[in-house]
Amino acid sequence: MPERIRIKDIALKAGVSVGTVDRVLHKRPNVSEEARSKVEQVLREQNYEPNIYASALAYNKSYHFHVLIPRHDQVAYWEEVELGVKKAVEVRKDFNVSVSVCYYDRFDDDKFLVEAMACIDGKTDGMVIVPVTLELTKQVTDRLHGESIPFVLLDSYMPDLHPLAFFGQDSFASGYFAARMLMLLARNESEIMLMKMTKGGRIVSKQQENREVGFRHYMHDHFPKTKMCTLELPFYGNKVQYDAIFEDFFKMKPMIHHCITMGSKAHVLGDFLLRTNRRDVQIMGYDMVEKNVECLRKGSISFLIAQHAYQQGYFCIDALFKAVVLKTNVQAVNYMPIELLTPENVDFYRRLQI
């Protein structure tokens, strides 16, 4: 093992003080160009690799990040994201890292802006944002850029916003894949149902919108004669409302036997099918939330597409940690796996070891 190079050895070779070497290593100001050049030359000659973890610990600074996600109930997809966030904070607790999780209503643009700006006003060192529309999110990210605060996008990738990093599925590819899998079962069907949760005609997220685009591209290319019948459900509806909508739909469309939904609420229809003992309709949906898995095991959902929500939450905080605390580069675009779960393999699906 080669002998470890000490900072005082670098200072001696460069003819500068130990403090000057420390400022160069940590990219701090108040170093003359001549001194900086001498130190950097010695670093290159010695192949010096600093212990960035030890350095960050020695600095003994506190860091606070904010995570801005949609409001949710405890069985929803976002609960897994939060658990991943908390795990990342627990792992980095020695570095004085803390996180505040803030929530907004998916359909309340004003609430999104208020919550986002409050996070920034709260003196954040970095943010994780689940974006809404490009135009609205840009109002937030423009301020973050203006104040040199790094941010990570989760769920929907918007490259025009120039985030530090993105974590999520390639939503177009995911929708295209969903169509391919669904049509293995429904290839002889003349109609299929496309179920959406909406408010005022607006769907929940840009990610779901892009999934639908991918889905429709596959259908256009391979099953152009198959009709897609859209069923919209009120996002804040209840079981009684949903049951009435489903009853009316299946009376009008008795020949529909397959359904796709681009979000995590496949269980809304799955539960209805189980309670009404309707075994001739199969569903494909997204995300391994508890209610979806229950319907998958009982047979009203055929497939779920999973995307490791827990890991996404963890990796977002880890990216901010590496960029802000360790001052290292992070990979900009990080697509999560597109994984197909069935009743046979769902019990073997586990969180990745972190």
Task: Give the chain's domains with CATH numbers.
Answer: 7-50 (1.10.260.40), 61-169+309-337 (3.40.50.2300), 171-306 (3.40.50.2300)
pLDDT given at position 351: 60
> Which residue type sits at 136?
L
The pair of structure tokens assigned to 35 is: 């001194």
pLDDT given at position 1: 35
pLDDT given at position 2: 45
pLDDT given at position 74: 52
Residues 6 or more apart whose Cβ sits within 8 Å of residue 153: 128, 129, 130, 131, 161, 163, 165, 166, 167, 168
Residues 299, 266: contact at Cβ < 8 Å? no
pLDDT less than 50: residues of the chain: 1-2
Residues 196, 229: contact at Cβ < 8 Å? no
